[in-house]
Structure 1
Amino acid sequence: MFYQLSALFLALLSASPALACGPDTDCALGDRYYRIAMPEDHDGATPVGAIIFAHGYRGSAQGVMRNMNMRRMVSDMGLALIAVKSAGPDWDIPGVPSAMDSTGAAEMAYFEEVVADVTARFAVDPQRIMMSGFSAGGMVTWELACNRPDLFAGFAPVSGTFWQGPPESCAAPASVIHIHGTEDRTVPLSGREIAETKQGDVAEVLGMYRADGDFGVIETGDALNDLTCERQSNVDGNVLEFCTFPGGHSFRRSFLSYAWDRLSVAGKV
């Protein structure tokens, strides 16, 4: 009897892919993976929104999930936290020092697979997913905003933008909330040269995106604590915000809740 019950339990476990991974175990996607933390006490059936977070240079999905304060905040928001992982130490995007000839196609395909897999395995609403990331993770977030704008409800890059300046144009603009420290020396607002490449100038990137998306008059005002933002919108209801804080190359979990709230006000999530 005990053997039969054990065999039944193992069969049920293997038949349910959602039970096979989580915040402490990898959700395999071929030779790549991601990790996910659903909201605490989630019933396993009710669809929830989610934040996908991309780590910085030499970061990891495990490291993101070890940030228990961020996990708790996202859970309290009623959202899932999804931590993605680059194939190597850095994200494979155009202009990155480790792969100057990269087209970024592999990373775009990886994020498409993550969204498809996570919405199949878990009760995550595909229409309520925000993409975010810090530093190099902010750079891949901008690449996705430009090349896969329909994959997410909005984008919140922090302290990172394109390498080698902005592209000539992007696909149909989405909602973007860019957050950056005014005293950042690792990824300065004006960028800096590294090896044979250069980090992009945030003002140039925003200018390109503003023109492409036909975003309107800038509204300036204090936002969250010492975060000061310039806000714009367009006729499609998308929002473009540029938020700065007096500090260096740093990340606060409150940036995620602020960006989500702004997307919510805009009716995007």
Structure 2
Amino acid sequence: MRTPDAGPPTALVLFLGGSGANAERIATQSSVVATFLANQAAVAIPQGLPPFGEGAPNWAVRDGRQMPRDDVAFILDVIADARMRLDLNTLPVLLTGFSRGGSMIWDIACQVPEAADAYAPIAGAFWIPEPQTCNGPVHLFHTHGFTDPVVPLEGRPVRDGTRQQGDVFTGLRLWRAVNACGSRADDHDVGEDRWIKRWTTCEDGSVTLMLHEGGHAVPSGWADTTFAWFEASVSTE
């Protein structure tokens, strides 16, 4: 857990790294964490576990693989612990993560939508079998590289076809249905290296998709953009 240097935090952010990520290294070396701290957020970086003690740290996403820990329950415990330790019970919560950590964010948002005030996954989505519905609406800001070869927008089979990444657009259709959004985006931005579509006139929650021209990476300026979106989303609640 890291807290801002200047004054008390105004929000709590949890960031989940990708497969093999080291939480301590992310906490001390990540520019994303530094940006959230500069925006006056407290930042918790939970650690994934290897599959039954072997291999690289990972997250127990809903992909049919057996893992040693229920990571949905674990993340809920981390949020509760952080709130208690820092007396953050009234502060808004943003859950975000990259790659496999991003997929874990999709699962938490779907299974326990009240866990956080907003969700901002990067380069990760549902795995097959994709859920047919979710337990409630959310504010979702999904970021993905247009040329991502590791988690392509259309998904891909892995582990000799024993598991399958889901299609990002199929997942976003589900989120629009859960939030009762229109089929067409309410507005969009077209930049030199990124493209954004927003569904903001939903019955509840919202959906934002940001594509960037890069691959499997966090695009430059992502943390500032996402935190501004988060603050705007929670201010309308």
If the length of structure 2 is used for normalisation, what is the TM-score? 0.87
1:141-185 deviation per Cα after TM superposition (whole angstroms, max 9, x unaligned): 000110111010100000001111520100111110000000000
Matched, 1:194 2:162: no
Deviant stretches of 4+, over 6 Å = none
Query: In the comparison of the two structures, how many residue pairs are matched?
Result: 226
Show the counterpart of 1:39: 4
Alignment match, 1:117:
81
Are the equivalent residues in 2 in contact too, given 1:224–1:258 (CA < 8 A)?
no
CA positional deviation for 1:225 = 6.4
Q: Mapping of 1:108-257 within 5 angstroms?
A: 108-195=72-159, 196-216=162-182, 217-222=184-189, 226-233=193-200, 234-236=202-204, 238-252=205-219, 254-257=221-224
Q: Percent identity?
A: 24
Quick one: structure 1 residues 179 and 68, their matched pair in 2 at CA, closer, same or farther if it must change by over 3 Å? closer
2:30 maps to 1:65: no
C-alpha contact (below 8 Å) 1:133/1:141 kept by paired residues = yes
Letter in 2 for 1:255: W
Q: Which residue pairs with 2:11 in the alignment?
A: 49
Cα distance between partner residues in 2 of 1:69 and 1:47: 18
Question: Are residues 214 and 68 of structure 1, via their aligned partners in 2, closer, same or farther at CA, if it must alter by over 3 Å?
Answer: closer
Pairing 1:92–2:57 present: no
Structure with greater Cα Rg: 1
- Which secondary structure state, in structure 2, belongs to the residue aligned with residue 50 of structure 1? strand
Partner Cα distance (1:253, 1:66) in 2: 18
Q: Distance in 2 between matches of 1:47 and 1:260?
A: 13
SS in 2 for 1:178: strand
Which secondary structure does the structure 2 equivalent of 1:74 belong to?
Answer: helix
- Where 2:120 maps in the other structure, the secondary structure is strand
CA RMSD, aligned part only?
2.1
**What residue ranges of structure 2 are gaps of 5+ in the alignment?**
51-56
| Code of the aligned partner of 1:239 | S
> Which secondary structure state, in structure 2, belongs to the residue aligned with residue 95 of structure 1?
coil
Letter paired with 1:57: S
Q: What residue ranges of structure 1 are gaps of 5+ in the alignment?
A: 1-35
The structure, 1 or 2, with the larger RCO (C-alpha pairs under 8 Å, 6+ apart) is 2
Q: Distance in 2 between matches of 1:259 and 1:74?
A: 10
Deviations 1:61-108 (A, max 9, x none): 112113253333212201111111112221012216xx2x56x97111
Distance apart, 1:131 and its partner CA:
0.3
- SS of the aligned residue for 1:71 comes to helix
Q: Contact between 1:228 and 1:245, CA under 8 Å: does it hold in 2?
A: yes
Q: One-letter code of the match for 2:181?
A: F
Partner Cα separation in structure 1 for residue 190 and residue 227 of structure 2 = 13
Q: What is the letter of the counterpart of residue 39 of structure 1?
A: P
> For residues 230 and 36 of structure 2, what CA distance do their matches in structure 1 show?
15
- Alpha-carbon displacement from aligned partner over 1:217-267 (angstroms, at most 9, x marks no partner): 41342277632111002123x210111001100114622221221132232
State TM-score, norm by structure 1. 0.78
